[in-house]
Structure 1
Amino acid sequence: MAVTGARTVEERGAGAARGTGGGWRGAVAAEWTKLWSVRSTWWGVASAVALMAVMAFTLATSTVSNNTNAVPGDDMGVVSVSGVAVGALDMVQFVVLALAILVVTGEYATGSIRATLQWVPPRGRMLGAKAVVVAAVAFPLGAALNAAGTVVADPVLGGWGRLRAAEFAADALQSGVYLALVSVLVLAVGAMLRSTAATLTTAFLFLLVVPMLLGGGDESGPARRVSDSLPSSAGRYFMSGEGPYSQAVGLVILVAWTAVAVCGGVVVLRRRDA
């Protein structure tokens, strides 16, 4: 159980819930207080920003190198600066997803999930409140990460970068939407698996490794079609606008995966004890 000052995180969460009169509002207030009462949240946000800077710099440097080397086959030409930040999100997202996972698995690890379920007995409300808080944090964080990556990549790309206000606004908004949805998805998976390590491993395999393995074959083959239907692929097509289907379809697929995961999390929570 984490201790912050004279009061534990659990006591602060209970106080927030009582102060707002319970119900949905109290449950969300308690989850918000618990999230920001631990140092890991602040460290995670700072780490995500730092990793975005590193990844954006690396991708921008690689783009310039490819465009200026003697091998014409790898030339990318002028690219969207904010699009480079979108590409960097493939790896940076896992720092944010780890925070989302800890929102539920951290309570199972410490046993504080029992206190949480005493304050908010309805399993659906409890998981829903966590999902609302996670999405409320991940959405602006995703937009901020895109902005940070854009700021780093722009001077590195120089003449090979294209920065337009409309593109930047769209990329930042879409990055926020993607990160919010996929964070809620892994939160729900964490509610089912209860283990931080197992959930993070599952997320890494499902969001990065499996799509890469399946997507490496024939573009019209069944493996590629399966890869294109996975949440990370749908999210990538939604953000980039480049893929076998439109951005709207990519968003619908991602929302559907998230909804299924949340429903699964609620069902599992209702069927077993804390």
Structure 2
Amino acid sequence: MASLTGLQVHGKGKGSGGSGAAGRGRGGLPGAVAAEWTKLWSLRSTWWSLVAAFGLMGLMSAILASSTAANNTNDLTGDDQGVVAVSGVAVGATDLVQFVVVALAILVITGEYATGSIRTTLQWVPPRGRMLAAKAAVVAAVVLPAGVVLAAAGTAVAEPLLGRWGRFAAGEAAGDVLAVGVYLALISVFILGVGAVLRSTAGALTTAFLLLMAVPMLLENSGVTALRHVSSALPGTAGRHFMSGGGDPYPAAVGLLILAAWAAAALALGTVVLRRRDA
């Protein structure tokens, strides 16, 4: 609330001496970011989403690690996966865990439309682009470190379950957990933009599921080369290439650029829609 008050002072305090200067220090984009940060951590859904993400990461990492060890020791040689990177298990678990994280990002914008509080938000921060940029900055600032810790937790869970079938190298693990954090941050910013366009939690979640999992899988399994190229350009596929270190059809850096382009495009479209529609 203090940050919101700062925005009000900024709006009324131009040319009013010392108090106006203080208001200007708390206004603009920094003030909007501070307000969004306060709002995010005041919501119970934020805490529940993070707890759920950690719980699901631990569960999925345990399942994947146990499955790998079992496949390597059963009588079916076709199941053998050999020695795998321990941190790679956490990367694999991210396919499902990401939907809990993007739900948090979606609610940052669609939750306000559902309750009508978006009108108050726009009253305090009238420039639509600034408001969405502030939300994106806060989402990225929360999700990136949370994603790193999530991947580290998944790695810690998988290591004892893999046993001799797990390979742990500090440099490789550090790269994997950082990649997961960056991926989750960018995909959360992307889906925030989608939420700004659709203004619906259900619609944004459905779009996330389609673009991150369902459509890429369908296109990859179609057997049509052109459709596989389309799949490679989707954010979910690009993110997997980035987290897995690249390979066919492009290196990890290209996957990161594609993912960043999707995030930037979604924010730009969200800003345009916000400016053209009433709250």
TM more than 0.5: yes
> 1:4 maps to what in 2?
none
Give secondary structure in 1 for the equivalent of 2:26.
coil
Deviation at 1:13, TM superposition (A): 5.5
Q: Which amino acid aligns with 2:187?
A: V
Matches of 1:82 and 1:16, distance apart in 2: 44
Q: Output aligned runs, 1:250-261, within 5 Å.
A: 250-261=255-266
Matches of 1:66 and 1:17, distance apart in 2: 58
> 2:53 maps to what in 1?
48
Deviation at 1:180, TM superposition (A): 0.5
Q: Output aligned runs, 1:49-88, within 5 Å.
A: 49-88=54-93
Matches of 1:111 and 1:248, distance apart in 2: 40
Q: Using a 3 Å threshold, how does the CA distance of structure 1 residues 13 and 38 change in structure 2: closer, same or farther?
A: farther
Q: 2:221 aligns with which of 204, 216, 221?
A: 216
Give secondary structure in 2 for the equivalent of 1:273.
coil
Q: Which amino acid aligns with 1:248?
A: A
Please say if 1:14 is aligned against 2:4: yes
Matches of 1:136 and 1:265, distance apart in 2: 19
Matches of 1:172 and 1:59, distance apart in 2: 17
* Displacement over 3 Å in runs of 4+: 15-20
Q: Output aligned runs, 1:157-236, within 5 Å.
A: 157-218=162-223, 221-236=225-240
Larger radius of gyration: 2
Q: Using a 3 Å threshold, how does the CA distance of structure 1 residues 262 and 172 change in structure 2: closer, same or farther?
A: same
Structure 2 unaligned regions, length at least 5: 9-22
Deviation at 1:86, TM superposition (A): 0.4
Structure 1 unaligned regions, length at least 5: 1-10
- What do the CA deviations read for 1:73-123 (whole angstroms, capped 9, x no partner)? 221100000010000000001111000000000000000000100111111
Are 2:3 and 2:26, in contact at CA under 8 Å, matched by a contact in 1?
Answer: no
Please say if 1:25 is aligned against 2:15: no
Deviation at 1:69, TM superposition (A): 1.4
Deviation at 1:70, TM superposition (A): 1.5
Are 1:13 and 1:34, in contact at CA under 8 Å, matched by a contact in 2?
Answer: no
Identity %: 65
Are 1:56 and 1:85, in contact at CA under 8 Å, matched by a contact in 2?
Answer: yes
Matches of 2:235 and 2:219, distance apart in 1: 13
Give secondary structure in 2 for the equivalent of 1:86.
helix
Are 1:241 and 1:247, in contact at CA under 8 Å, matched by a contact in 2?
Answer: yes
Matches of 2:6 and 2:34, distance apart in 1: 6
- What do the CA deviations read for 1:33-77 (whole angstroms, capped 9, x no partner)? 000001111111111000000000010011111111122122110
Instruction: Compute the RMSD of aligned alpha carbons.
Output: 1.3
TM superposition score normalised by structure 1? 0.93
Give secondary structure in 2 for the equivalent of 1:76.
coil
Deviation at 1:15, TM superposition (A): 3.6
- Of residues 121-130 and 13-22 in structure 1, the stretch that sits farther from structure 2 once superposed is 13-22
Please say if 1:239 is aligned against 2:243: yes
> 2:19 maps to what in 1?
none
TM superposition score normalised by structure 2? 0.91
Deviation at 1:12, TM superposition (A): 5.8
- Of residues 130-139 and 233-242 in structure 1, the stretch that sits farther from structure 2 once superposed is 233-242
Give secondary structure in 1 for the equivalent of 2:221.
coil
